[in-house]
Structure 1
Amino acid sequence: MSLPDLQQHIAGQTHLLVAYSGGLDSTVLLHQLVCLRQQQPFSLRAIHIHHGLNPLAESWVAHCQQQCARWQVELEVVNVQVDGREKGIEAAAREARYRAFRQHIQPGEALLTAQHLDDQCETLLLALKRGSGPAGLAAMPDKMHAGAYVHLRPLLRQTRAQLELWAAEQQLSWIEDDSNQDTRYDRNFLRQQILPQLAARWPHFAQATARSAALCGEQEQLLDELLAESLHALIDKQGALAIQTLEPMSAVRRAALLRRWIAHHHGLMPSRDALSRIWQEVACSREDAEPRLQLGNFEVRRFRDRLYWLARHPSVRDQIIDWPVTASFLTLPAKIGRLERADKGTPVRAPQAGEAVSVRFQAQGKFHILGRAGSRPIKKIWQELGIPPWQRERTPLLFYGDRLIAAPGVFVTREGDPKQQPGWHICWQQEEQ
């Protein structure tokens, strides 16, 4: 790639974050950006992800630090944990990388990664192996919006041989990851054994697959545009999907909308079987059921004829947390937030002498809440208030001794009624999910 081509790819971006592994591809990309920076001013940072999977990983960090210091590029090194038990090392490492990118990219920055034409070919073949549809076969776009930032891949039209030529001409040094030779990994198997044979038989095979990927991407973009209005009508402000409107649709149209609903939540695209299970086991389960289907770190659940895409959290159902009366706030577990005694909030009576204050996440029996006649089972109260089961499991319940006083921000029981007397105001500060 010439520098003018690169300049065109990053047009309009003034703050760049480069994923820098120290390998050939990212070294060439970072070097080209350093050269371009001499011609036009822009902010340039690099991020190196330390997976901790290779004994040489520390030396790779040192190499990247030295190179960035030489090129006067700020470098951020991020250590991640990779658990390959569920999806395999390759997928888990990629997920950990992109999670780190999302967490460390700064407002206004664009993320640049160094995938090239050969990578695109490998990605399409892997998608074929998985039996992917057009979305998977579209492989990698050269520009995409990933939540709050733009993700650019400016080298997608360059072959690895072209990158090697640039590196040789510029006398660059880079890291050779010995694990790239391990053909137990699918991508390495394609790279080492399959693609050389395909290229020997059909020299332009990589370019042809890139065109196929681009055509699949165009078809997906067209479907996105055609289904955008329908999807918008199906989704409410909480991002939940209306089930009844989906029921009379054809299975093909319904599956296409389900895929785009998951993409709306930035979820990994499920298999065809998983999509079928979402509809059959969750959407179409009996009315009184509380179905849930786990998909990686997320789950699909149903409530009142709507599907919800939810992050999974550890259970806090059996936890009991003491709240000393001398403490003005209490930090809650599992990213639930914290409770504060403040000037504003849910009014409750103050605890009496000898009443221990605690927070729990479940209650048993019947309760009389203020504003309602008579007592009701706690499950009935939640239902009448329209609180979904997963929110009930993460709503803090204030107890004095063994008496339920309130669910701050939701209800107060008769036992917690301040009765116009000075008491406490409890404010639940929830964490953003």
Structure 2
Amino acid sequence: MLYSRFASGLETYCDNPRRFVLAFSGGLDSRVLLHLMGQFLRQHPQHRCLAVHVHHGLSNNADCWSQHCLDWAQAEGIDCVVERVNLELTNRRSVEQLARDERYKALKKHFHPQDILLTAQHADDQLETVLLALKRGSGPAGLAAMAECTSFAGGYHLRPLLGVTRLQIEEYGRACQLDWVEDESNQDTRYDRNFLRHEVAPQLIARWPGIRKAVARSASLCGEQDALLEELLSEKLDQAMHHDKSLIISQLGSERIGKQLIRHWLGRCGVLMPSQAQLEQIWHSVVNAKPDANPQLCWNQVQVRRYQQRLYLIKQWPDIRHWQQECQLDQPCCLPQDLGVLTLKQIGQGQLRKPKPGEVVTVRFEPEGLEVKPFGRSGKRKIKKLFQEYGVPSWNRRRTPLIYYGEELAAVAGLFVVEAFHGRDCDLEWHNDTSDVQ
């Protein structure tokens, strides 16, 4: 019965041979998912699957669990890899959220476009997720909880057990005489989800046996409402987004529409949604701040800032003002923090002179106190003023590469060459492949 339901769910997305990536913790749910997938592949050999076990290092048993996962996957004829992650625990983010984020990053490393990610969430997980969303005071998007199928990294994320209860999964596992790992942290009711799982959900289910289906129906309705709102606002959001993915404030309209556009803009950028209070702050303290202000709001390692009447979403990067790297002619210089690659190329019609013998070329990021004369300009100017004139936002001024010949600034990547270093021998190529979040 469970296999038939699982197989029919997968076949909906298998019009062509597919590659599946299965998130495999080794716990009951994913152990059953692996077993079901093994049967599916034996009946549909045109498809392939890779199981990925993420080793979080949070338990003394983690090494043992990894070996079990490798053994069980081998028994099912499924390739399996172990991805080790290091969790940088902070007060700002819960262990659960941090582990989840790192888990999906690890899964993406093994995911190709058009692949299907399989995870083992079920009906009881959905109930807990909705209760957690209610606890946070979420709106329709949060209360929509988990969809059976969503887009993921150029492919799909499928939850084929979402309509199945935990009890049904356990009965299947015992009937098939499967072994699985028991994570001791799952019993720790200090974690919100575990508290709901062990203390709250059983009482709700005992009182109202149909509550899982009712909650799933409500989540589905909330998902439909949120999707409708996104569809209705999609064209307006397209008009409000600048080509650099910033948001044009004059296009936001009324407060009610504007806040929804900001929410959907953040959704497109793929960041954790701010709370209602934080969204109110973005509107009143950032969007409607005084024209000469430099407002910002930070949450979950990102921040929204305003510059020249546009909203920008940026990562909260560590300071790199002391970073320095030697740069050789015609050799790519890899920059830190997703800033791409810089190359000083010898070229016939360039803008920079060639370095003199013994003149070391370095890339740096500390502009403080510099005063230079760009080629073609009259007089020296402080680099802070030049950044303003060239329209460089304040948060990018210590993230713009500075090219030094010896101890003298020769050029600012993407902006100008200092007059004393102008020539026709070389040019700078800066390939800055950043993500949606700048």
**What is the TM-score when the length of structure 1 is the normalising length?**
0.92
> Match for residue 430 of structure 2?
428
Q: By how many angstroms is 1:241 displaced?
A: 0.6
**How many Å separate the matches in 2 of 1:273 and 1:15?**
42
Superposition map of 1:197-212 within 5 A: 197-212=203-218
Q: Which amino acid aligns with 1:3?
A: Y
Task: Note the alpha carbon deviations across 1:280-315, whole angstroms, 9 max, x for none.
Answer: 222222323333322212221222111111223222
The corresponding residue for 1:6 is 6
2:157 aligned counterpart, secondary structure:
strand
Q: Counterpart amino acid of 2:177?
A: Q
Give the distance between the partners of 1:23 and 1:409, measured in 2 at CA. Answer: 51
Q: 1:350 and 1:375 mapped to 2: Cα distance?
A: 23
Q: Alpha-carbon deviation of 1:78?
A: 0.6
Give the whole-Å Cα distance in 2 for the aligned partners of 1:330 and 1:2.
54
1:355, distance to aligned residue in structure 2 (A): 4.5
Specify the alignment match of 2:337 in structure 1.
334
Q: Is the 8 A contact 1:138 1:212 kept in 2?
A: yes
Q: CA deviation at 1:111?
A: 0.7
Deviates more, 1:114-123 or 1:236-245: 236-245
Match of 1:277 among 252, 276, 281: 281
Q: What is the SS of the residue equivalent to 2:132?
A: helix
> How far did 1:126 drift?
0.8
What does the per-residue CA deviation read over 1:15-54, in whole Å, with 9 as the maximum and x for residues that have no partner? 1111011111111112111111122221111111111111
Structure-2 residue corresponding to 1:47? 52
Aligned residue number for residue 36 of structure 2: 32
CA separation in 2, counterparts of 1:329 and 1:360? 15
Where does structure 1 lack aligned partners over 5 or more consecutive residues? none
Q: For 1:289 and 1:401, how far apart are their aligned partners in 2? A: 38
Output the CA distance in 2 between the equivalents of 1:80 and 1:188.
Answer: 23
- Residue aligning to 2:236: 230
Question: Which residue matches 2:70?
Answer: 65
Q: Tell me the SS of whatever aligns to 1:104.
A: coil
Q: 1:341 is matched by which residue type in structure 2?
A: L
Q: Structure 1 CA distance, aligned partners of 2:289 and 2:334?
A: 37
1:311 aligned residue: 315
Alignment match, 1:376: 381
Asked whether the equivalents of residues 404 and 415 of structure 1 are also in contact (C-alpha less than 8 Å), the reply is no
Task: Compute the displacement of 1:356 (Å).
Answer: 4.5
Please give the alpha-carbon distance, in whole angstroms, between the structure 2 residues aligned to 1:21 and 1:329. Answer: 40
AA aligned opposite 1:112: L
Residues 111 and 153 in structure 2, CA contact (< 8 A), matched pair in contact too: no
Using a 3 Å threshold, how does the CA distance of structure 1 residues 329 and 221 change in structure 2: closer, same or farther? Answer: closer
Q: How far apart, in 1, do the equivalents of 2:200 and 2:29 lie?
A: 21
- Partner amino acid, structure 2, of 1:78: E
Residues 328, 341 of structure 1: 8 Å contact kept = yes
In structure 2, C-alpha distance between the alignment counterparts of 1:333 and 1:87, rounded to whole Å: 24
Contact 1:346/1:409, CA 8 A, preserved across alignment: no
SS at match of 2:109: helix
Percent identity between the two aligned chains: 41
Pick aligned residue for 2:189 from 176, 183, 191: 183
Change (3 A) 1:355 1:18: closer
CA distance in 1: counterparts of 2:200 and 2:403, whole angstroms: 62
* Contact 1:60 1:175 survives alignment (8 Å): yes
Give, as a single letter, the amino acid of the residue that structure 1 aligns with 2:82: V
The correspondence of residues 119-130 of structure 1 with structure 2, limited to 5 A, is 119-130=125-136
Match of 2:391 among 371, 382, 386: 386
Structure 2 spans left out of the alignment, 5+ residues: none
Deviation at 1:71, TM superposition (A): 0.9
User: Matched residues in 1 for 2:230 and 2:340: separation?
Assistant: 36
1:5 Cα deviation from its structure 2 partner:
2.9
Provide Cα deviations, 1:129-188, integer angstroms capped at 9, x if missing partner: 111111111111111113423111111100011111221222211112222111111111
Q: Does 1:362 align with 2:366?
A: yes
CA–CA distance in structure 1, aligned partners of residues 370 and 101 of structure 2: 44
Using a 3 Å threshold, how does the CA distance of structure 1 residues 326 and 260 change in structure 2: closer, same or farther?
closer
Q: What SS does the corresponding residue of 1:342 show, helix, strand or coil?
A: strand
RMSD after superposition: 2.2
The one-letter amino acid of 1:340's match is T
Displacement after TM superposition at 1:192 (Å): 0.9
Aligned-partner Cα distance in 1 for 2:323–2:21: 42
Output one character per residue of 1:43-85: Cα deviation in whole Å (capped at 9) or x when no partner: 1111111111111111111110100111110111111122342
CA distance in 2, matches of 1:330, 1:147: 28
Q: Which residue does the alignment assign to 2:245?
A: 239
Q: Report the equivalent of 1:20.
A: 24
Aligned pairs (5 A) from 1:96-115: 96-115=102-121
Kept in 1, the 8 Å contact 2:247–2:312? The answer is: yes
- Cα offset for 1:320? 4.2
Q: 1:171/1:264 Cα in 2 relative to 1: closer, same or farther (>3 Å)?
A: same
Given the alignment of the two structures, is residue 196 of structure 1 paired with residue 174 of structure 2, yes or no?
Answer: no
Decide whether the 8 Å contact of 2:296 with 2:306 is kept in 1: yes
Whether contact under 8 Å (1:346, 1:427) holds in the other structure is: no
Partner SS state of residue 314, structure 1: coil
Structure 2 distance, partners of 1:87, 1:77, is 25
Q: CA deviation at 1:329?
A: 4.7
| Mean Cα deviation higher: 117-126 or 36-45 | 36-45
Report the 3-state secondary structure (helix = DSSP H, G, I; strand = E; otherwise coil) of the residue aligned with 2:230: helix
Matches within 5 A, 1:79-98: 79-85=84-90, 86-98=92-104
Counterparts of 1:336 and 1:279, CA distance in 2: 29
Displacement of 1:198 after TM fit? 1.2
Residues 84, 90 of structure 1: 8 Å contact kept: no
CA distance in 1, matches of 2:120, 2:212: 17
Mean Cα deviation higher: 371-380 or 126-135: 371-380
In the TM superposition, what is the alpha-carbon distance from 1:322 to its structure 2 partner? 4.5
Aligned counterpart, 1:138: 144
CA contact (8 A) 1:117 1:159 kept: yes
Q: Secondary structure at the match of 2:319?
A: coil
